[in-house]
């Protein structure tokens, strides 16, 4: 349904990336194992989510950012 990590309410408004939920090996690609394109093992994600998963980013932001007084002016307290 084009939602980030398959979660309703988190529609992807841009490029959709496909992420394998199981690690893919070189042999999987060479042998063209069936699980490579099996939807059971694939999930659609946004670019930001794919980067966070791939490069172990800890800060995946879902939903609106909660604003705080002076959060855009760090020199003010």
pTM of the complete model = 0.60
Per-residue exposure over 27-56, b if at least 16 CB sit within 10 Å of its own CB, e if not: eeeeeeeeeeeeeeeebbbbebbbebbeee
In this structure, what are the phi and psi dihedrals at residue 45, rounded to the nearest 5 degrees? -140, 160
19/62 Cα distance (integer angstroms): 18
pLDDT in tens, 33-51: 988 889 898 999 998 888 8
59/51 Cα distance (integer angstroms): 11
Average model confidence (pLDDT) across the chain: 84
């Amino acid at each position: 349904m084009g939602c980030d990590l398959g979660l309703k309410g988190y529609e992807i408004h841009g490029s959709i990336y496909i992420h394998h939920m199981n690690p893919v090996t070189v042999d999987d690609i060479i042998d063209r194992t069936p699980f490579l394109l099996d939807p059971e093992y694939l999930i659609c994600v946004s670019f930001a989510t794919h980067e966070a998963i791939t490069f172990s980013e800890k800060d995946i932001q879902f939903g609106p950012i909660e604003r705080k007084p002076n959060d855009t002016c760090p020199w003010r307290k």
